[in-house]
Amino acid sequence: MSELTATIIAAHGRHYLADADGEKLQCVTRGKKTNVAVGDVVILKRTSNDQAVIEKIAERTTLLYRSDQYKSKLLAANISRLFIVVATEPSFADDLVSRALVAAEAAGIEAHIILNKVDVEPPLARARERAGLYGALGYPVHELSARARPEHAVETLMPLLAGQSSIFIGQSGMGKSSLINLLVPDADIAVREISEALDTGKHTTTFTRLYWLPGGASIIDSPGFQEFGLYHLTEGMLERAFVEFKPYLGGCKYYNCRHLAEPQCAVLGAVGEGRIAKMRHELYAQLLHESSQTLY
């Protein structure tokens, strides 16, 4: 049967759904490979009317993934923008936000922060202050409220999504699903269709899926997760993925400085003077430790 070029629009375990010019096909990989990500452009060989085998993955522009000691979990391929959704309440995890920003830097993906639920007044000042730390590093922070001001939310985000392949990530409870439903009015219907096609039953939130926007842009919605391991990043990648370290790299006494406890380290000097947040340096030290534990 003929070969087709398609985009992977959903993944659940080793089952994938591909979109070939509007035609949806259930796909599997040959053998036990699971190295396919949502957003991948693939070459398919049709095996029946609505089924195909993935023969080849086209070269990727970017790949976002997380990893623990034992394995890696692909999040999305060929994306240009990452939107991290945080909220005034419940409180968000700075560790998760920083890890996602480090992953984006390492992958060459532009990162943005969305501060949702700004209509909830009591925790707003504290949430703004915490989000402001990332704003000070140069990451744009967009304040909105999906529930109270939906039109404003759409007006704010649509220009940022135009012409881009974007992914939305965030802990559960941040309002990410509400935002996706505003931006993709038929998202619920699409999720049901994908669930049926992938035979996921009622587990509609456990798979990553891609929605097309007008003009060829796309949004990938990733399930909420509480951990973001970066065991795959090497020491060299890590120091460059903390944007605030960049002015000081090369300024240390020792050329192979790890920026942990070495004398006359320019990065540690900047931490001591408050030019690099202590919290971020502590995460860097933790990630260095993790990268030394890798087993795969």
pLDDT digits (tens, 9 = 90+) for 37-67: 999 999 999 999 999 999 999 999 999 988 8
User: Binding residue per annotation — 176?
Assistant: yes
Please choose, from the candidates 217, 143, 148, 224, the residue with its C-alpha nearest in 3D space to the C-alpha of residue 183: 217
pLDDT at 296: 47
Helix 176-183 × helix 150-161 angle, to 10°: 70
Asked whether 257 and 121 are in contact (CB, 8 A), the reply is no
pLDDT at 295: 53
User: Binding residue per annotation — 259?
Assistant: yes
Residue 81 scores a pLDDT above 90: yes
User: Binding residue per annotation — 91?
Assistant: no
Please give the average per-residue pLDDT across 112-118, as a whole number. Answer: 98
User: Binding residue per annotation — 73?
Assistant: no
The token pair at 236 is 């060299």
pLDDT digits (tens, 9 = 90+) for 169-179: 999 899 999 99
pLDDT at 198: 73
Q: How far is CA 193 from CA 79, 198, 202, 220, in A?
A: 23, 9, 12, 16
Asked whether 58 and 37 are in contact (CB, 8 A), the reply is no
User: Binding residue per annotation — 170?
Assistant: yes
Residue 266 scores a pLDDT above 90: yes
Asked whether 177 and 151 are in contact (CB, 8 A), the reply is no
Asked whether 142 and 132 are in contact (CB, 8 A), the reply is no
User: Binding residue per annotation — 27?
Assistant: no
User: Binding residue per annotation — 291?
Assistant: no
With bands split at pLDDT 50, 70 and 90, how would you rate the model's confidence at 200?
low
User: Binding residue per annotation — 174?
Assistant: yes
Q: How far is 270 from 258, CA to CA, in rounded Å?
A: 14
User: Binding residue per annotation — 48?
Assistant: no
> What's the chain's average pLDDT?
91
Residue reference for tokens 């070459």: 43
The token pair at 194 is 């994908």
With bands split at pLDDT 50, 70 and 90, how would you rate the model's confidence at 196?
confident
The token pair at 250 is 């090369």
pLDDT at 195: 73
pLDDT at 13: 78
User: Binding residue per annotation — 119?
Assistant: yes
